[in-house]
Amino acid sequence: MKDPYQTLGLTKQATQEDIKNAYRAMAKKYHPDLNPGNKEAEKKFKDVAAAYELLGTPESRGKFDRGETPEQMQEQQQQYQQQARSSQRTGPFYYNTQQDGGRYSHSFGEDVGMGDIFENLFRQTGRRGPSRPQGGDIPGEDQLYQMEVDFKDSILGADREITLPTGKKLQIKIPPGIDTGKRLRFRGQGGPSAGKGPSGDAYIEVTVRPLAGFRRIDNNVESDLPISFIEGILGAEVQVPTLDGSVILKVPPGVSTGSRLRIRGKGVASAKDPGDQIVVLKVVLPKQINPELQEAVRAWEGKYSYNPRVES
Amino acid sequence: MKLQKRRPLQEAAQQSGIDLESLLHFIEWQWIHPVDHTHQILDEEDIARARLIWQLQQDFGVNQEAIPIILHLIDQLNCLHIELKIETKKDSTQETSD
């Protein structure tokens, strides 16, 4: 991966004005909307945009320039690569939205009789022009909206009422185990037909809001549980939060960081394939080691010491 | 046709990084035509078009008078591109069946 100065064809000595001018010149040349369908231009534009994000303001440039240690430079490179990858984070380019029957290009073609132009053009070569769909009692259009769902609701399921931006209210049954990207369909709740056709459908695409401390792995829920080294040696009964209240978990003696304990039935509340909660243990030492504790450990060190780096 | 996500104006502004006032101007000047004008709801096409306008203005320094001309040319380019693709596809189908 090139460094951002190189991407913009500049050196570190470039002024802020040079950076802006280089960006403008290259962005104009490679912008995907001015190079429809040219993947190479799109890639170059993304690289140039990511480079400009790093160097475009004196503040961001200062941050980049100050990272002189190899670790910081590596971190910056990673950040740069990530930016290059995520410059589409805010959505597709306009050109991409017009390729599969985009409204703007479609209505433009109709307004200026683009179909007729092609009709005439291809008639000369004995070919037919493109056909356009005819109106009538066509069904109303399907509409797609987005909804954020709490992590807990995505695992346990829930009944919710939402209001669409159009003001229409919908009762939603969130099925347990729903994941980001899944769509719920509401028949007949989309756009009305212009004629006597049926209304379209409304689709709600779900995005699950993450919950700190919990992760979903298939139908299970995974959470971390810090324990003291004393609890790890002696075993203990510890209170563990689950998505529907706390439970007491029996930690057996001799567990280590990374040991996994299962709480049955606390994962996805699916009747067909219910999940569990997997608790991943993490042995944590006290933040400050008390001299008395050190003394006590020293006393039994000779008798009970072991080497965890050797398989027993 | 691909189903596109719809967002109310405020959310569209957040997603695109364009301030709400500018988005309202784009609509007022008819540079974008929201998919649901009554409820001011934008789809991905509207948002991508708004972002293109924003880039033209902010990054390329294009002035207000030139924006509709550029949009017109880009729409023309896209439209021709699509029509050409349809024709090319028809042609190759005909050749295969001949």
CA distance B91 to chain A (A): 8
pTM of the model: 0.67
DSSP β-bridge partners for residue A246? A241
Nearest by CB to B3, from A31, A112, A142: name it: A142
Whether A19 contacts A56, CB under 8 Å: yes
Chain B positions touching A88 (Cβ under 8 A) are: none
- Between CA A155 and CA A185 the distance in angstroms is 19
CB pair distance less than 8 Å for B45 and A103: yes
Chain B positions touching A142 (Cβ under 8 A) are: 3
Residue A247 phi/psi, 5° resolution?
-130, 160
Whether A214 contacts A225, CB under 8 Å: no
CB pair distance less than 8 Å for A36 and B78: yes
B contact test, residue of A8, A20, A28, A98 with most B CBs within 10 A:
A98
CB pair distance less than 8 Å for A114 and B79: yes
Judge if ipTM > 0.90: no
Whether A109 contacts A131, CB under 8 Å: no
The tens digit of pLDDT for each residue in B11-69 reads 999 888 899 999 999 999 999 999 999 889 999 999 999 999 999 998 888 999 999 99
Question: What integer pLDDT is reported at residue A294 of this predicted model?
Answer: 92
Type of residue at A230 = I
CB pair distance less than 8 Å for B78 and A95: yes
Establish if B39 touches chain A: CB-CB under 8 angstroms: yes
The parts of chain A modelled with pLDDT lower than 50 are: 87-89, 124-133
Question: What integer pLDDT is reported at residue A137 of this predicted model?
Answer: 76
What 8-state DSSP symbol labels residue A68? -
What 8-state DSSP symbol labels residue B31? S
Question: What integer pLDDT is reported at residue A186 of this predicted model?
Answer: 93
Question: What integer pLDDT is reported at residue A210 of this predicted model?
Answer: 95
Whether A227 contacts A236, CB under 8 Å: yes
Question: What integer pLDDT is reported at residue B61 of this predicted model?
Answer: 87
- Between CA A190 and CA A200 the distance in angstroms is 4
CB pair distance less than 8 Å for B82 and A167: no
- Between CA B46 and CA B33 the distance in angstroms is 7
Establish if B37 touches chain A: CB-CB under 8 angstroms: no
Question: What integer pLDDT is reported at residue A104 of this predicted model?
Answer: 87
Question: What integer pLDDT is reported at residue A121 of this predicted model?
Answer: 55
Establish if B55 touches chain A: CB-CB under 8 angstroms: yes
